[in-house]
Structures are given as C-alpha cells and as structure tokens.
C-alpha cells in the first residue's frame, strides 16, 4: 500500500435493477455479482479499504460476507436517475467521519467484472506518477466511421467528413470511457460534484474488458469471457 495514503474503493450497488432482478447479488460464475468487484479491490496492493454503498440490506449483508464495509445509501440518491457522483460524495463524507479522511477514491462499477486487480494497481501508479486529479478506465476505440440521423431523417457523419474521406491509418487515436472504474481526489469530487475534472488521465484496458452487464444476454456473454480469459478463480 502507498505509505500513509488512504485509498478507498467504493462500489455503488442499488437494490433495484430494471432488466435483471436482484442483479448485484445474482450468481455470476459461482459468486454474487458484486463479490467479484469486492475481491478484486481487496487484493490490490494500493487500496486501503473497500466499501459497498447500497439501499438494500441483503446486498450489504453479502458485501460484508465478502469482506467489504457497508454504507447505507439514502433513498434520495438511490433512484434510477441518481448520478453515481452523489453516491461517491455520500461515501466520502461517511468514510471521513467514521474512519479517516480519504486521499484518493476508486469508484468501481459493480457490473463490470471483466477486470483484474492489476488494473487497479497500474491505474493508481499512473495517477500518482502523472499527478492527475482524476482518471477513467478506457479501451481504445476502433476507427469506425460513425453516422447519425438528423432531424430530417437523413444520415450525417459524426466523426469524419464523408466528402473528404480520410485514410484509416491517419485517424487520431480515440478512447472509449468503459465505466469499469474511476480514480479521483476528494477535492475534485467535492468542488465540482463530478468525478472527472482538473487534469484528467486514462488507464487503457484490454478490449474485451469493456463488456458490462445490463441485460440477460450480457450476463451470459460476460460469463463466457470470464471463463475464456481465465479470470474465474
């Protein structure tokens, strides 16, 4: 662990889910879904404490069974449209009052199991070395030409000028914010009500790790990927 630094991992895990009932504690590769994120964080060389924020007593009980500290999330920040940043702010205050102030927070998405502990540790090393204020996990975007429909129902190009079609080889590198996890300082979060601000960096993950679970189909695909890439322990 980094000397005298309190690096806290916070995993938001609501009780309600739209498509998959009780998603965060549904068995995934033999364990409750949220357990994978907890164990990945607990094995980190840098993360000091692991927390699960939820409005659901059963999820919090499962979290405790796998070694995480529970945070009871108020109902007013646990709705479908509640931003995760509000959860992180609540957790930041809770941990600071009940344990000790946080130097860095790792915000982890419970539905992105396709990651390894080393991803957290490498990202934290980059964060410290480059003196970032915030960082997001990403995967490299392939050089697809993207289109959208305009107000007239006609197609417009989004990321290139179709009249002057560029060679794929000269398209600038782009990154997809994959949502797996974020790093940020408490000051950035509190001053901006946003996990990303100031000097922003990224940690690039393998392409297959961008998969996340939002549907029953995703659940099956991610289980196959976990097993296929040897991430099941």
Among all residues, which ones are annotated catalytic? Answer: 165
Contact between residue 201 and residue 135 where contact means Cβ atoms under 8 Å apart: yes
Question: 124 exposed, middle or buried (CB, 10 Å; 0-12, 13-18, 19+)?
Answer: buried
**Can you read off the two tokens belonging to residue 168?**
């794929």
Choose among 17, 25, 26, 14: nearest CA to 54.
Answer: 14
Choose among 45, 82, 84, 34: nearest CA to 92.
Answer: 84
Q: List, in sequence order, every residue forming a beta bridge with 155; answer none if it has no partner.
A: 149
Q: What is the dihedral of CA 188, 184, 75, 67, to 10 degrees?
A: -150
């Amino acid at each position: 662990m980094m000397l005298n630094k309190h690096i806290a991992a916070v995993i938001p895990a609501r009780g309600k889910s739209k498509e998959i009932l009780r998603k965060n504690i549904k068995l995934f590769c033999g364990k409750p879904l949220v357990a994978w994120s907890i164990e990945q964080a607990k094995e980190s060389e840098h993360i000091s404490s692991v927390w699960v924020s939820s409005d659901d007593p059963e999820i919090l009980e499962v979290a405790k069974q796998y070694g995480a500290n529970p945070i009871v999330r108020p109902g007013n920040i646990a709705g479908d449209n509640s931003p995760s940043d509000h959860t992180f702010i609540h957790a930041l205050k809770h941990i600071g009052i009940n344990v000790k102030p946080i130097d860095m927070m790792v915000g982890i998405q419970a539905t992105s199991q396709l990651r390894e502990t080393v991803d957290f540790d490498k990202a934290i090393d980059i964060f410290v070395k480059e003196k970032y204020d915030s960082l997001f996990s990403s995967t490299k975007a392939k050089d697809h030409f993207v289109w959208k429909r305009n107000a007239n129902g006609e197609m417009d190009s989004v990321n290139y000028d179709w009249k002057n079609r560029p060679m794929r080889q000269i398209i600038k590198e782009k990154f997809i914010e994959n949502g797996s996890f974020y790093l940020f300082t408490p000051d950035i979060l509190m001053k901006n009500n946003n996990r990303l601000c100031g000097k922003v960096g990224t940690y690039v993950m393998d392409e297959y790790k961008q998969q996340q679970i939002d549907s029953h189909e995703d659940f099956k695909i991610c289980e196959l990927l976990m097993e296929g890439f040897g991430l099941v322990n």
